[in-house]
Amino acid sequence: MVHGKKPSIVYWLGENLYLNITNRCPNNCYFCLRNFRNGVGGFNLKLEKEPSVAEIIAELEKVMNLKNWRDVVFCGFGEPLERLDSVLEVSKWIKRHYGKIFTLRVDTNGLAYLLNKGRSVVEELKMAGVDKVSVSLNAHTKEIYNQVCRPIFENAFESVLEFIEKARELLKVEVTAVRIPEVDIQAVEEIAKKLGVKFRVRDYIQPFW
């Protein structure tokens, strides 16, 4: 039960530590967890305000030594790469202090090139120490993408594909899709295969009303 709890910047599920640094996102996926939940695993992920880099690091310092974390992951109720510079700064801090211990991953919708025009997003992530990205492709065509993810950007689907192509040159890449009726999971897997990256299906957590 998360009702009434203070919002969490860091939270954990099993062996992984997660960073919830923004609630902003250029998509409005109908299956997005934040549409019908306040958080996950007993943590409240609805931020009242975005934390500064110093606040993120202060929260991280409290929990980094609690466990032998397997992955540290930027993934919350929003798109982490809405805050590219903060992701880069926090990543550098993590890698400087704990770099050899675990994988540093960003879970993203892959729209970073539309959100950060003119930036070399993948190269910058790599330089900051990010090891891996998990990209929500979520559709096998542009039409289906627009229908289920409802992006604010015109060429969102094409941009996600471009992000995957660039990322696979420098980072470990996994593509994911949520199992929903509109999406041909096999066709999404085919796209991932053609791009030469791993694929994982995520289960849709249905609202309970």
Q: Which of 14, 15, 28, 143 is close enough to bind ligand SF4 by CB under 6 A?
A: 28
Spatial distance between the Cα atoms of 168 and 199, rounded to a whole number of angstroms: 13
Q: Are 90 and 97 in contact, with CB atoms under 8 Å apart?
A: no
Q: Which of 43, 45, 72, 79 is close enough to bind ligand SF4 by CB under 6 A?
A: 79
Task: Build a one-symbol-per-residue string for 91-130: x at contacts with ligand SF4 by CB under 6 A, - elsewhere.
Answer: ------------------x---------------------
CB 90 to ligand SF4: min, Å: 18
Per CB under 6 A, contacts with ligand SF4 among 162-201 are none
Rg of the chain (C-alpha set): 16
Give the nearer residue to ligand SF4 in terms of CB position, either 74 or 102. Answer: 74
Query: Which among 130, 128, 137, 199 has a CA at the least distance from the CA of 171?
Result: 130
Give the nearer residue to ligand SF4 in terms of CB position, either 51 or 80. Answer: 80
Spatial distance between the Cα atoms of 149 and 182, rounded to a whole number of angstroms: 11
Cα dihedral sign, 177-178-182-186: positive
Q: Applying CB under 6 A, does 32 fall inside the site for ligand SF4?
A: yes
What order do you get walking across the sheet with 172-178 strand by strand?
Answer: 10-13, 16-19, 71-74, 103-108, 132-136, 172-178, 198-202
Give the nearer residue to ligand SF4 in terms of CB position, either 34 or 168. Answer: 34
Residues lying near ligand SF4 in the complex (CB under 6 A) are found at 25, 27-29, 32, 34, 78-79, 109, 136, 149
